Structures are given as C-alpha cells and as structure tokens.
Amino acid sequence: MSFKPANNIQDLQYFGEFGGVNPSISDSSTYTFLSAKTMFDTFEGNADGCYLYSRHSSPSNLYLGEALAAMEGTETANVAASGMGAITPVLLQLCQAGDHIVSSRTIYGGTYAFLKNFIPRMNIQTTFVDITKLEAVEAAINKNTKVLYCESISNPLLEVADIPALTKIAKKHNLKLVVDNTFSPLCISPAILGADIVIHSLTKFINGSSDTVGGVVCGTQKFINDLRNVNNGACMLLGSTMDSLRSASVLKNLRTLHIRMKQHSKNALYLAQKFESDGLKTVYPGLKSHPSHELFKSMMHADYGFGGMLTIDVGSLEKANELMELMQNNNLGYLAVSLGFYKTLFSAPGTSTSSEIPEHEQKEMGLSDGLIRFSIGLDDDIERTYHMMNSCMKQLNILV
Ligand code: PLP
C-alpha cells in the first residue's frame, strides 16, 4: 500500500508565533475582530481563517485535527474532548428520529450503552450483529438504516472488521460506514480502505501517556463542517470541545506514535506467541490461529504490526483477578482500564469496560468471565517481562 500514515504526520511543518518549532498555543476562548462585519461573516461561516469562539474551533485544535486527518488520509478532522465526545455527535449528526443503525455487537461498552440505552430515546434503533458475518450484516439493513458502525479491531474480543467488504455493503445500501480505529492507529487506515468516517479515542495509543481523555472525527470537509455548524452541528451544539492546552500536548505525543506502535506490536506479538505455546487460550490478530489473521494482513501497514492489544482466558473471574493482582504486585503493569500506556495495563472486561453489556449477551458474544485484556506496554526487555508473567501464572496454577 503506498499510503504512508506516519510520513504524512512527519511531513507537516509548523512554525510558532515567534518562529518556535511547535505551534503557539491559542490560550483563548474568544477572539477579537477589527470590524463587526467580519464577525458577522465568521458566524455565517464566510470568513476563512478567522476564529470566533473556541467551542467552534481554535488554532491549536485545528493543528491537531489536521495532523490526525493526514494520518487517516481524510480531508479534515475535528477533535473532541473524549472518544465518546466524538462518537456520539457523529451518530446524532447522521441519524434522525426513525432512523436505524447496524452495529457490530463487540464494541466498546460505552458505545454499546449509547446505542442500546440512550439513542432509542430519540427513536433511533440499533441492530447488533456479528461484524465478521457479512451476510448477517447485510440482512440486518432495512429501509431506515443510515449507518454501519464497527471498530477495526473490536474491544475487547479483538474481532477484525473486513473494512473493504463492509464498504461495499455500505455503498450498495447508501449507508455511512463509521469505523472506530482506536485499537489500531497507523496499523490500519480505514478511510483508505473505504470507510466514510474514522473515529479515535485519543485517550489511548495516540496520546499514549494516560494523562488526558480526547477524541477525533476524521472525514470529509463537508461532514466536519456539518458537525461544526452553529445552527445544527452536533459537535458545536453538544459542546464536547477539547481544550487548546490539551490539543497542543496530544499533538506533541502524536509525533512519536510510529515508534511506540512498533514497540507495542513487537512486544504484544512476542507475548502472544509465548502465551499460546504455553497452552493459554490467547487471542491476538498477529497469531496464525486468529480467525482473521489473513484479513488483518491484507489491510495492515506491515511496519506497525498487529497492534498492542491481546487477550488470554484463564478460566474464571476469580483466577483472572488473582493473576492481575499478582502481576501488579510484581510491577508487571497496572490493573487498570484503558490502553496505550508505556506500562502494560490489564483488566477483566466483563466486569469493567464491557460491564454495560448484560451478562447473557456477553456470553452470547463469547466474552467469558476469565478473559483478561492486555494493553502491552513499551517494555525494552519483553523476554524478562514474559518470564516474570510466566512465573506468576505458575504460582497460581494457571500454568503447570
Ligand atoms: N472507543 C474505544 C474502542 C474505546 O476503547 C474507548 C474507551 O475505552 C472509547 C471509544 C471511548 O473513548 P473515551 O474514553 O476517550 O471517551
């Protein structure tokens, strides 16, 4: 694939107000105008390059948005205060009362809860499907369907969406394909593969330092303008705006994403292979045993690997909890939700990030009690980490 997402980030050039190598931070919520007429024109969207009010846009947010658009290969992007602050306005912008969404059933618990419990209040219904079964996806579409929603690699089951095939279905039925790419930045470029809108929680790999929440919507200029419209734009009116100081710091972290993703992926592949050969039930898209291993390979930018997320199943919640506590006591990572940190993070999704999904539905989708989700860190000596994890597992009789 000739599209090079990290080059696109690298090739952006910035000059700060005083010639700084970082753009100056726009630490203002409002902006002055030399003439009242220009203020009016800006309100109407007719004064390019003028800033009005920072909920609408700010120079710092635009810099970060443009860098993320360059990474995803979309015309532009709009940053938001959180991943959910990006996902919810997109769906509300695309759907009206009476509309219908087809969504993957294995998605982040917050997104699932929004679709299942919240958006029906606006008379927007969702059918949840196994996104790997393309016939089921197509069969769920009805005359009111407007959106096809999925994650490139799903949270927490690490199912892989066939983005080119879903694009075809979306085009055939005139739907917007919205892809949450939070688990696989740089590894997969959904828009290049045909998705209409790409979303990230910046909270995770992209920022990478677990010090803020943030989100982004990458799409066409027309769609991003719609989201920002002062009269009916969901981002503008729902107000989930990122602060300029934060967008400046996320932009700085974005510049090392390619180095971090390579290391996350290298470490995750190493551990996944070791865990699997030890006899643990291991799920990682980089393993040949993953049902979508070949599909992932056909979509990925090989340089960045298969991502930093893997799961193991240790049989019961009790064992999972014991193992996570022991690993934390041995300083192998943190028992914490979220992902993309320099240290490994682990949690049992059934009782944490996916707890919004009712137990019987968790079972149906294969989310078992003993599942531990790992976000593998940047450890320089992953062999040492493996040996320490292995001895924790032996201590708890998970491995003999
Ligand atoms: N999308 C995915 C795949 C996630 O894992 C998360 C959070 O865990 C979100 C979206 C929501 O992001 P945020 O917590 O930044 O709102």
Q: Angle at CA 112, nearest 5°, toward 344 and 192?
A: 75
Which of these, 342, 199, 188, lies nearest to 259 by C-alpha position? 342
Asked whether this chain's domains 5-254 and 259-395 adopt the same fold, the reply is: no
Residue 24: band (very low, low, confident or very high) from pLDDT cuts 50, 70, 90? very high
Span 94-122, average pLDDT: 97
- Strands (DSSP E) along 89-203, which ranges? 100-104, 125-129, 145-151, 176-180, 197-201
Mutate to test the pocket of ligand 1, among 106, 115, 155, 311 (most ligand atoms within 8 A of CB): 155
What's the CA gap between 139 and 149, in Å, rounded? 15
- Residue 353 CA, closest ligand 1 atom number: 8
How many CA within 13 A on the CB side of residue 347?
Answer: 16
Query: pLDDT tens-digit profile of 325-383?
Result: 999 999 999 999 999 999 999 999 988 878 888 888 888 888 999 999 999 999 999 99
Mutate to test the pocket of ligand 1, among 106, 108, 160 (most ligand atoms within 8 A of CB): 108
Whole-prediction pTM: 0.97
What's the CA gap between 176 and 167, in Å, rounded? 9
Fold exhibited by the domain 5-254: Aspartate Aminotransferase; domain 2 (3.40.640)
Query: pLDDT tens-digit profile of 331-343?
Result: 999 999 999 999 9
DSSP string, 363-399: HHTT--TTEEEEE----S-HHHHHHHHHHHHHHTTS-
pLDDT at 350: 84
- The structural domains of the chain, with segments of one domain joined by +, span 5-254, 259-395
Which CATH superfamily groups domain 259-395?
Aspartate Aminotransferase, domain 1 (3.90.1150.10)
